[in-house]
Structure 1
Amino acid sequence: MPAEAPQTVVATGFGPFGIYDVNSSWVAVQELSKRPLGDDIDLHIEEISVDYKTASELVPELWKKYNPKLIVHVGVSGIASKITLEQKAHNEGYDKCDVKGCCPENHCCVLGDEGCRVSGIDMQLVCRDINEASSDVEAEVSQDAGRYLCDFTYFKSLSIDKSRAAFIHVPPLNTPYTAEQLAEGLRLAILAMLKQVS
């Protein structure tokens, strides 16, 4: 019997912006790529610049290039103290300038789309799996991804396929988690999410 084709997973992190000369999201995603997810999982990672134009163009390109079973965007949050699983994203309200000093047209992600999109992945179940695992990290669920590049990127992916898209906020490095601990949290999250993706 032929071996099953590997499940393609795409994980993205963001580049530097504001006070974050080193963005823990990209550091964690790079660290994740060094960890075994399983022989049946083919992981691809990508860094996204913190600007709306790049995010708007790159996200659909990643979907088209990889046709992933799951895409997980990761961003840093200065108010997060746990692995924070975002359940939904917003289409409007993007009035904070990106690293190039720009905002999207009409402060909107996808013109004419609905105001909010909810991931088909139940983040409460993912949260439970992470918290029940014997690891050093804790997770929680959030309903507000922040109306900046994180929220924007998430909405863009959800507008393509909400059944296979997720967003995770991580704290800045060493507040409290190391890059290795963040990567382990991402690993546990991805494995939990894949249980729900058909």
Structure 2
Amino acid sequence: MGSVEESPEEFTVLVTGFAPFKSEYPVNPSWEIASRLPEYLPRKDSSSSTLPRVRIVVYPEPVRVNYQTVRKLIPTLWGPNDPKINPPPGDTDAGRSFVPPAKIDLLLHIGMAGPRLHYALERVGRRDGYNLRDVDDQLLGDTAADRADPNWVWYGVPAALESDLDLDDVLQRWRAHSTDRDGVNHDLRISVDAGRYLCDFIYTSSLAHLWKQGARRRVAFLHVPAAATPERVAVGQGLVVELVRSLVETEWAARQQAGTDNKTDAKESAAAHVPADGADTVTGKWYRD
């Protein structure tokens, strides 16, 4: 896949999925789901007519479950026109030749979360604690000394970062859309523990990249169940379509409200959010140490 033709009237959502990394899970459903997403978000009903046309751009290969691959990839996704950034570190010709959209309104990372059956939006990304080896048997290698080094890629980044998207609002919309879709009450949640592995790492990498730029952290991460049968992938694909719809609706509403209020940042304080029913919370904190 080469460059993506864009329209200023389109709302663009970039999506990534991961490659397999465990012998007991030879297929990673995050990529199976991502690779089957439609190019454009289907119109659902008259209420969606207030939204712009939504284009879904999928990074054209599964992301290798490798710390350094992710660390090199994220800047290329968010800054395709920056001459200081090297081409994407793709494993295939499709990945190496991919040119991300010049304008990314939202980025959705998808990853697998073991044998659990629920789908979880992650609220928090964490900078430290990556002590598990990646698929190439490599550790991340960041040390306490790095945090004092101005050349460290995450220098100055807080220990925990949260998306600027109103995930509580997203969850409410997602549940409603998903039930409307097939009449099933799927187990959809918000989590505050992304796992300190590559899923957490790619989410934090995107959050940190935008934080360092002083940009709105318009990124989400979704954990999906490990089951990769055709039936489960089809269910996941449908749920992700409705998640994209919900993310866009929430962000679009925030933009409209920001325009009405003449503000540049429509995000409310995290402390002011009232968690949706079923969201995972920690008493007195929105993240765990």
TM-score higher than 0.5 here? yes
Q: Which residue of 1 aligns with 2:72?
A: 57
Measured at CA, do residues 79 and 116 of structure 1 come closer, stay the same or move farther in structure 2, by a change above 3 Å? farther
CA distance in 1, matches of 2:73, 2:127: 17
Measured at CA, do residues 187 and 112 of structure 1 come closer, stay the same or move farther in structure 2, by a change above 3 Å? same
Deviation at 1:34, TM superposition (A): 6.2
Q: Give ranges in structure 1 of 5+ residues lacking alignment.
A: none
Q: Which residue of 2 aligns with 1:83?
A: 119
Greater mean alpha carbon deviation, residues 63-72 or residues 140-149: 63-72
> In the alignment, is residue 143 of structure 1 matched against residue 192 of structure 2?
yes
Deviation at 1:123, TM superposition (A): 1.7
One-letter identity of the residue aligned with 2:70 = A
Answer yes or no: is the 8 Å Cα contact 1:11–1:45 preserved in 2: yes
Answer yes or no: is the 8 Å Cα contact 1:5–1:40 preserved in 2: yes
Q: Give ranges in structure 2 of 5+ residues lacking alignment.
A: 1-6, 44-51, 81-100, 147-152, 211-215, 256-289
Q: Which residue of 1 aligns with 2:286?
A: none
Alignment map for 1:119-138 (pairs within 5 Å): 119-133=163-177, 134=180, 135=182, 136=184, 137-138=186-187
For CA contacts below 8 A with separation 6 or more, give which structure has more relative contact order. 1
Deviation at 1:110, TM superposition (A): 2.5
Q: Which residue of 2 aligns with 1:16?
A: 20
Greater mean alpha carbon deviation, residues 57-66 or residues 166-175: 166-175
CA distance in 2, matches of 1:53, 1:131: 35
Answer yes or no: is the 8 Å Cα contact 2:39–2:55 preserved in 1: no
Residue 31 of structure 2, aligned match among 22, 26, 33: 26
Answer yes or no: is the 8 Å Cα contact 1:73–1:166 preserved in 2: yes
Alignment map for 1:1-198 (pairs within 5 Å): 5-18=9-22, 19-33=24-38, 36-37=41-42, 40-46=53-59, 47-65=62-80, 66=101, 67-106=103-142, 110-133=154-177, 134=180, 135=182, 136=184, 137-161=186-210, 163-173=217-227, 178-197=232-251, 198=255
One-letter identity of the residue aligned with 1:146 = G
Q: Share of identical aligned residues, percent?
A: 28
Deviation at 1:15, TM superposition (A): 0.1
Q: TM-score, normalised by structure 2?
A: 0.62
RMSD: 2.4
CA distance in 2, matches of 1:181, 1:34: 18
CA distance in 1, matches of 2:38, 2:26: 21
Deviation at 1:173, TM superposition (A): 2.1
Deviation at 1:13, TM superposition (A): 0.4
Q: TM-score, normalised by structure 1?
A: 0.89
The structure with the largest strand share of the pair is 1
Answer yes or no: is the 8 Å Cα contact 1:87–1:122 preserved in 2: no
Answer yes or no: is the 8 Å Cα contact 2:170–2:250 preserved in 1: no
Greater mean alpha carbon deviation, residues 62-71 or residues 88-97: 62-71
CA distance in 1, matches of 2:116, 2:70: 22
Q: Secondary structure at the match of 2:217?
A: coil
How many equivalent residue pairs? 196
